C-alpha cells in the first residue's frame, strides 16, 4: 500500500485557529486534504483549500512534517502548512464550499477552550505548541 500524503492548513487570526466542525462525528479539525496521485504536495495544498473553502490560500511556511501510522501500520505523511491570508477566511460563503454539507460550523476558535476529545488530529495541540519551523526553499 502506498503512503498516504496529507496537507493540513494552519490558519490563525487573533491567536485563534481556523477549524471546521464535522457534522458526522461532531469533532473539530484543522482543514486538510489528501494528495492525488498526479499532484505535488504544494498542488494538493492549493487544490484542496480552493475546492473545499473557495479561497486561494497564500502559503508561507511548512510548520511540520509528521509521519503517522494507522492501526494496520500503514504510514502517512502530514505536511502542516501555515496560511498567511487569514483575513480571507473571515468571509467564507458556505454555498461556495464543496464540503459544506459535512460541517456544522467553521470559524476561528481558541483550541484550549475546546474539549480535547473533540479535537482532531489528537496531536494538534502538541504540534502547534512546538515552534520549530521548516522553511521552504
- pTM score: 0.81
pLDDT digits (tens, 9 = 90+) for 22-75: 878 888 988 888 899 899 888 888 888 888 888 888 877 888 888 877 777 778
For the chain, the domains span: 4-129
Per DSSP, the three-state class of 17 is strand
CATH topology of domain 4-129: Nucleoside Triphosphate Pyrophosphohydrolase (3.90.79)
Question: How many whole angstroms separate alpha carbon 104 and alpha carbon 68?
Answer: 27
Asked whether the bond before 50 is cis by omega within 30 degrees of 0, the reply is no
Taken in order 33, 107, 101, 54, the sign of the CA dihedral is negative
pLDDT digits (tens, 9 = 90+) for 64-75: 888 877 777 778
Q: 64: which strand partners?
A: 80
Amino acid at each position: 500500500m502506498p503512503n498516504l500524503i496529507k496537507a493540513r492548513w494552519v490558519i490563525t487570526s487573533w491567536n485563534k485557529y481556523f477549524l471546521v466542525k464535522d457534522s458526522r462525528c461532531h469533532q473539530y479539525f484543522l482543514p486538510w486534504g489528501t494528495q492525488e496521485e498526479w499532484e505535488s504536495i504544494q498542488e494538493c495544498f492549493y487544490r484542496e483549500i480552493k475546492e473545499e473553502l473557495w479561497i486561494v490560500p497564500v502559503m508561507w511556511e511548512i510548520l511540520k512534517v509528521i509521519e503517522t501510522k494507522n492501526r494496520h501500520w500503514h504510514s502517512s505523511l502530514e505536511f502542516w502548512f501555515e496560511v498567511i491570508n487569514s483575513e480571507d477566511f473571515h468571509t467564507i460563503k458556505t454555498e461556495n464550499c464543496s464540503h459544506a454539507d459535512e460541517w456544522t460550523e467553521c470559524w476561528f476558535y481558541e483550541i484550549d477552550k475546546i474539549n480535547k476529545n473533540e479535537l482532531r488530529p489528537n496531536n494538534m495541540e502538541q504540534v502547534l505548541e512546538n515552534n520549530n519551523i521548516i522553511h521552504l526553499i
